[in-house]
Chain A
Amino acid sequence: MIESGEVGNALIRSSGLIGEPLPVQSPDGSFHSWIVPVTVGDRLAGILRFLPDLTFMQFSGFQLHEASLEGCPEAQGWLDGNAVRERFSEQLRRGETASPPFLTYDRYPSRLAWASELTSADGKVRKLYLAGRACWEDPGSAGGKSFG
């Protein structure tokens, strides 16, 4: 799709590297979709997204201008499991442990994010999401009736 020019642009065609597909889980743990990252150097230039039957959903690019990487986040913040785990560990409260992070979405598929479940010493669990600069706690049912 990139090579034929259907998605992406000249910079991505000439310098983009297609990464390994990553599965996106639904909040209930079932398989929802695939994302395929496209990196240029150490930057995440865009993401292809497909349904499980490989129906094309979208190509989302981070570039603000076609000829530059301005606007593109560091790829490791989205793709490197260790870097993501590190970000979650910064949010740990005393006595909490974090589950391995997994790629999912916050309530709705368009809100793609990493998630981890943090468990306190007395067994209480809270779910954290991470997307770009934002990190937030799962609002639970209270957050389900709004657009955000």
Chain B
Amino acid sequence: MPLSSEQLVRLAGLELNAINLTGTLPDIENTRLSSAGTPVYDTNGTLLFHRLPLLRGRSGIGYADIAVQEIFGEPLLAVSTGMAWNEAAFIKEATVAARSKRRALEFDSVRFVAYSFPKIGIQFLAKGKETLMLELKTWQEVPVAAATRRKALEPSNFERWSFIDELPDDVRKTRSTAFKKRLDVWKAPSLTNLDTSVVKKTLFEIPDIVIKLVDTREIHYSPRQSDHSPCYELRGQQTNVWCVAASCEMLLNFYRYQYDQVRLAKELGLGTCSAPNGLPYAQVAKVVTVIEKLTSNALDATMIVNPGWAAFRDEIKANRPLISFVPGHSRTVAGYTETLITLPGKVPFKGLLVYDPWPATDCAHPEDGGVITRWENFATQTYQYAYSAVLKHV
């Protein structure tokens, strides 16, 4: 069922306040939505989204596009700042341009059409039939739909096509489910009385209201996230090539096994403090055998090749730290964060909490060295191997 104007403005307010809180947008703090704005239609005539003007004081500072169609997957399509949205002024400008092209143009209504989403045009209609469509701002005449067959969603750079008609069914289905889920979040009774008309970071700072914008988790003493403090410790590598020994030390310490790096280096074949060496690429499986040996097989270690985000996330959720090999180096991972809300087309930030034994210390100062990286952008690193260890239960 289509949303009423009030519902639409409210939805926009919730979405804008939420994304503002994540800090992923330019400054929209203290902006407000005054109306449901401008309806924008698909070329097939279906209402696609509304463009709502963003105001600060009395000045327009930009606009937000809020989807009406579930097939967008998320309600908030775009936020733009820098150019005020003034529907009446655009129509006036378009009418002047239209008259200059066709002096005798007849029309009785005007509407905004995403002629090639997200590109917008202004459509002039007489008795419901189009008489002219001009591209917004350039005021070029938008050509009629091309008759030639082409692959869906691959239009040319100035072509009229239907976003709704060309979206594949499977994408449509997935996105609709996601859209409904998002709307369900905003239906929480605790949000009912929230005044969302102004965008402000403090909006959700209200007792008993928990809005999950970010999924973050760290290793704890037990899998219960609410109990105790994060429970993980950093160990610096005691030579410039003992990152693997330091990583194993951190992981084993978590499970209360106390082996110093000199011993671990010996087990891993990494030499001594005075004559150290790194772990050869061909011996990456040794990490598994050493962890299992030194825990008398109480830990069941596994090597994961080319680990993806889910591998790290799922292990941390299970309250198990991982050893992570990146090119030439080894560290441990004890947490993750992931933004759950972002603009469509933007990749949500995913970061790992990395206990990195680098920079090195020396064997005389085992308490030094290392850094805690909070957060390592998952998109900027290459993950070659990861090692998890599961405590065997009787």
Encoded as 1 (CB less than 8 Å from any A CB) or 0, chain B from 353 to 380 comes to: 0101011111001001101111111011
Contact A110 B360 (CB under 8 A): no
B278 at interface, CB cutoff 8 A: yes
Q: Which of B244, B277, B281, B372 has the most CB of A within 10 A?
A: B372
Cα of A136 to Cα of B273 in the assembled complex, Å: 13
Q: How far is the CB of A66 from chain B (nearest CB, A)?
A: 10
Contact A132 B23 (CB under 8 A): no
Q: Identify which of residues 272-293 in chain B touch chain A, using a CB-to-CB cut-off of 8 Å.
A: 277-281, 284
Cα of A134 to Cα of B278 in the assembled complex, Å: 15
Of A47, A57, A111, which contacts B376 at CB under 8 A? Answer: A57
Residues of A close to B242: CB separation below 8 A? 148
Residues of B close to A58: CB separation below 8 A? 354, 373, 375-377, 380
Q: What is the chain B residue whose CB lies nearest that of A9?
A: B374
Contact A148 B240 (CB under 8 A): yes
Residues of B close to A47: CB separation below 8 A? 371
Q: What is the chain A residue whose CB lies nearest that of B364?
A: A133
Q: How far is the CB of B284 from chain A (nearest CB, A)?
A: 7
Given contacts A55-B377, A145-B280, A148-B278, contact A106 B372 (CB under 8 A): no
Q: What is the chain A residue whose CB lies nearest that of B234?
A: A64
A102 at interface, CB cutoff 8 A: no
Contact A147 B239 (CB under 8 A): no
B196 at interface, CB cutoff 8 A: no
Contact B362 A7 (CB under 8 A): no
Q: Which of A57, A111, A146 has the most CB of B within 10 A?
A: A146
Q: What is the chain A residue whose CB lies nearest that of B283?
A: A146
Given contacts A4-B23, A57-B380, A147-B328, contact A134 B239 (CB under 8 A): yes
Contact A129 B373 (CB under 8 A): no
Q: Which of B361, B368, B371 has the most CB of A within 10 A?
A: B371
Q: What is the chain B residue whose CB lies nearest that of A144?
A: B328
Encoded as 1 (CB less than 8 Å from any B CB) or 0, chain A from 75 to 108 comes to: 0000000000000000000000000000000111
A112 at interface, CB cutoff 8 A: yes
Contact A111 B361 (CB under 8 A): no
Q: What is the chain B residue whose CB lies nearest that of A51?
A: B380
A60 at interface, CB cutoff 8 A: yes
Given contacts A58-B373, A107-B328, A147-B330, contact A134 B360 (CB under 8 A): yes
Residues of B close to A134: CB separation below 8 A? 239-240, 359-362, 369
B241 at interface, CB cutoff 8 A: yes
Cα of A63 to Cα of B369 in the assembled complex, Å: 11
Contact B279 A7 (CB under 8 A): no
Residues of A close to B284: CB separation below 8 A? 147
B163 at interface, CB cutoff 8 A: no
Residues of B close to A147: CB separation below 8 A? 243-244, 278-279, 281, 284, 325, 328-330
Cα of A112 to Cα of B369 in the assembled complex, Å: 13
Contact B369 A133 (CB under 8 A): yes
B236 at interface, CB cutoff 8 A: yes
Contact A106 B371 (CB under 8 A): no
Residues of B close to A129: CB separation below 8 A? 240
B327 at interface, CB cutoff 8 A: yes
Contact B328 A59 (CB under 8 A): no
Of A46, A71, A110, which contacts B329 at CB under 8 A? Answer: A110
Contact B279 A146 (CB under 8 A): yes
Given contacts A4-B23, A58-B377, A106-B240, contact A133 B365 (CB under 8 A): yes
Closest 6 pairs between A and B when the two form their complex, measured CB to CB: A146-B278, A108-B328, A148-B278, A148-B241, A132-B359, A134-B360
Would you give 30 A-B contacts (Cβ < 8 Å), ordered by A? A4-B23, A7-B374, A46-B371, A55-B377, A56-B380, A57-B381, A60-B371, A61-B373, A62-B372, A107-B328, A108-B327, A108-B328, A108-B329, A110-B326, A110-B328, A110-B358, A111-B328, A111-B329, A129-B240, A133-B361, A133-B362, A134-B361, A146-B279, A147-B278, A147-B279, A148-B240, A148-B243, A148-B244, A148-B277, A148-B329
Residues of A in contact with B (beta carbons under 8 Å apart): 4, 6-7, 46-47, 51, 55-64, 71, 73, 106-113, 129, 131-134, 136, 143-148
Given contacts A71-B368, A111-B358, A134-B240, list 20 more A-B pairs with CB under 8 A. Answer: A7-B374, A55-B380, A58-B376, A61-B373, A61-B374, A62-B372, A73-B368, A108-B327, A109-B327, A110-B328, A113-B359, A133-B359, A133-B360, A146-B281, A147-B244, A147-B328, A148-B237, A148-B277, A148-B278, A148-B330
